[in-house]
Amino acid sequence: MAEGKIAVVEDEPTIARAIATRLESEGFSVEVASDGPSGVELCRRMTPDLVILDVMLPGFDGIEVCRRIQKERHVPVIMLTALDDETDKLVGLGVGADDYVTKPFSARELVARVKAVLRRVERAGRGEPPDAPIRVAGLELDADRRRATVRGDEVHLTPLEFDLLYTLAERPGVVYSRDALMGRVWGHGDSYGSRTVDSHIRSIRRKVGGDLIRTVHGIGYSFTEEPAT
Amino acid sequence: MAEGKIAVVEDEPTIARAIATRLESEGFSVEVASDGPSGVELCRRMTPDLVILDVMLPGFDGIEVCRRIQKERHVPVIMLTALDDETDKLVGLGVGADDYVTKPFSARELVARVKAVLRRVERAGRGEPPDAPIRVAGLELDADRRRATVRGDEVHLTPLEFDLLYTLAERPGVVYSRDALMGRVWGHGDSYGSRTVDSHIRSIRRKVGGDLIRTVHGIGYSFTEEPAT
DNA sequence: GAAGGCCTTCACGGAATCTCCACAACCCGC
DNA sequence: GCGGGTTGTGGAGATTCCGTGAAGGCCTTC
């Protein structure tokens, strides 16, 4: 009775086995790949519920793997990085992973993160169970009511605009590439020009004010990171 | 996989069979008796979760059956009466049934009542408080009696309409997709075109006034959220 | 059978939304 | 400062979505 299918892409056999064993003992069914190309292939074949990706991989790196699989279908991704700096870099690159775990990490920690991500995604997928409204920088987004207010005034957002803004506002400061946003909001990466994202960003800015969404030149967009005021 | 056991005591074979068939198709296991004495006997033997009792019965009448089985063990009872007057009389007699359904009734309506009674009893068994009628914006919905009034005037809602409106009114402001409503009201998400929901929404609006249910374009419907007045 | 209640489905027209294009403005490395 | 790539702007179709009226099926009663 598998709770979920997890793909692990990690080239160090010791670590890969450790992760797999622990996750399996938690009731997940796990498969492992050890380089970039076969990681992409694995994701295609097993359609996992979540992917754990090492950044450093033979073939091509985890960033590239993440981009490719996100393009086909949005799958939650947790990235493993060697250093804190590396995490920062990834956040800035707009890879759009769901979580980042820095080595060394305990198996317990990884399992906790996996469960947290799955819980969040499942909730969003079923659509029903409530979520606390997001409040940042004068903006309030209530997913249950699909309502947005800026400094108390209600703003009407179209379905796509709401989802797009919600995705960004969920993690202020995290940069998403246009592809990553397409994957999350549209559910698939291709079949639309990526400038479509720009159009929607524009109308969101017009409605909620231009300074809430930051453009990261050459990479993508992110929600403005604001210290608590 | 029985959701519950139901005893039906009804002397008219046509009606008895109709009820039994419908309840069985809803997943209940059903047994039938056709007169007073054997009704009491049936209840002793099968220990049903709910009893449906016709008032007019050979042997002794439904009132007497109800008294006898209640004496031994409390079982939820729904009484079938021929006339509204009769219902009033029964209520006056203190028979203590959990609900009264007046003939003619639709099979669907009876099923809805059965489920409502079972839900209520189960809740009481768990020590939770009973449903209070919902009162919002001039609308009142009484789940126990399945009755709706708008500004004091009773409006007749079909079983589906009632469930649909009740689902929405339970959480004003929360937006439900058509699929979500299908899942909650119909019990399964698929097998019907989603525009069916629209049709019922439309007839509800005609009956209770159009501004109580809000359309959220591209998403679904929600009950109008009213600031406390 | 006929009539009526209830549920489901259809097609249509208007409205809201999404996508894309062409051009101007901008950013960055050189 | 210059040039190439990147992003903002405005708007024009194309597409999707929703309210409406109505028809048909199933069931029950008369």
Q: Which chain A residues are within 8 Å of B175, Cβ to Cβ? A: 144-146
| Residue contact A159–B225, C-beta within 8 A | no
Q: Which chain B residues are within 8 Å of A159, Cβ to Cβ? A: 217-219
Q: Which three-class secondary structure state does DSSP give residue B45?
A: helix
Strand order in the sheet with B50-54: B29-33, B5-9, B50-54, B77-81, B99-102
Q: Which chain A residues are within 8 Å of B222, Cβ to Cβ? A: 145
Provide the 10 A C-beta neighbour count for residue B177.
18
| Residue contact A146–B225, C-beta within 8 A | no
pLDDT at A228 over 50: no
Strand C proximal residues, A:195-224, Cβ < 7 Å: 195-196, 199-200, 217-218
Q: Read off the pLDDT of residues A80-114 as tens digits, 9 standing for 90 and up.
A: 888 777 777 777 777 778 888 887 788 888 888 89
pLDDT at site B89: 60
Chain B, residues 210-229, CB within 8 A of chain A, namely 216-219, 222, 225
The angle that helices A62-72 and A36-46 make with each other, rounded to 10 degrees, is 30
CA distance A178 to A193: 10
The pair of three-digit structure tokens given for residue B147, joined into one six-digit string: 């009755």
The pair of three-digit structure tokens given for residue A64, joined into one six-digit string: 């590239």
The HSE-up count of residue A139 (CA atoms within 13 Å, CB side) is 29
| Residue contact B225–A130, C-beta within 8 A | no
Question: Of the ranges A147-156, A159-168, B142-151, B174-183, which one carries the lowest mean pLDDT score?
Answer: B142-151
Give the number of A-B residue pairs with CB atoms closer than 8 Å. 23
Cβ–Cβ under 8 Å, residues A61 and A86 = no
Q: How far is CA B145 from CA A35, B87, B100, B131, in A?
A: 64, 13, 9, 11
Provide the 10 A C-beta neighbour count for residue B128.
10
Q: Which residues of chain B have a pLDDT value below 70? A: 1-3, 82-96, 103-107, 124-132, 189-190, 226-229
pLDDT at site A203: 96
User: Distance, in angstroms, between B178 CA and closest chain A CA?
Assistant: 11
B173 closest CB neighbour out of A128, A145, A158: A145
Cα-Cα-Cα-Cα torsion B165, B170, B172, B175, nearest 10 degrees, comes to -70
A159 closest CB neighbour out of B171, B180, B218: B218
More confident residue, B171 or A1: B171
B78 φ/ψ angles, rounded to the nearest 5 degrees: -115, 125
Instruction: Classify strands A213-216 and A175-177 as parallel, antiparallel or unpaired.
Output: unpaired
B196 touches strand C (CB under 7 A): yes
| Residue contact A145–B175, C-beta within 8 A | yes
CA distance B148 to B139: 7
Which chain A residue lies closest to B218 (C-alpha atoms)? A159
Please report, rounded to whole angstroms, the spatial distance between the CA atom of protein residue A2 and the C1' atom of nucleotide C16: 43
Cβ–Cβ under 8 Å, residues B182 and B197 = yes
Q: Read off the pLDDT of residues A27-58 as tens digits, 9 standing for 90 and up.
A: 899 999 989 899 999 988 988 999 999 988 88
Q: Which chain B residues are within 8 Å of A128, Cβ to Cβ? A: 180
pLDDT at site A223: 93
pLDDT at A17 over 70: yes
CA distance B223 to B170: 8
Which residues sit opposite B139 in a β-bridge?
Answer: B136, B150
A127 touches chain B (CB under 8 A): yes
Please report, rounded to whole angstroms, the spatial distance between the CA atom of protein residue B10 and the C1' atom of nucleotide D7: 76
Provide the 10 A C-beta neighbour count for residue B82.
13
pLDDT at A124 over 90: no
Alpha carbon A38 to chain centroid distance? 21
**Best mutation target, B175, B176, B184, to test chain A (most A CBs within 10 A):** B175
Contacts of B116 (CB under 8 A, 6+ apart): B99, B143, B144, B146
CA distance B56 to B34: 11
Q: Which three-class secondary structure state does DSSP give residue A48?
A: coil
pLDDT at site A128: 46
More confident residue, B73 or A196: A196
Cβ–Cβ under 8 Å, residues A136 and A171 = no
More confident residue, B82 or A156: A156
Band (pLDDT 50/70/90 cuts) for residue A141 is very high
pLDDT at site B104: 65
| Residue contact B174–A127, C-beta within 8 A | no
Query: Which residue do the tokens 């606390």 mark?
Result: A132
Q: Among residues B123, B115, B121, B216, which one has the least CA distance to residue B166?
A: B115
Q: Dihedral of CA B91/B20/B49/B27: which sign? A: negative
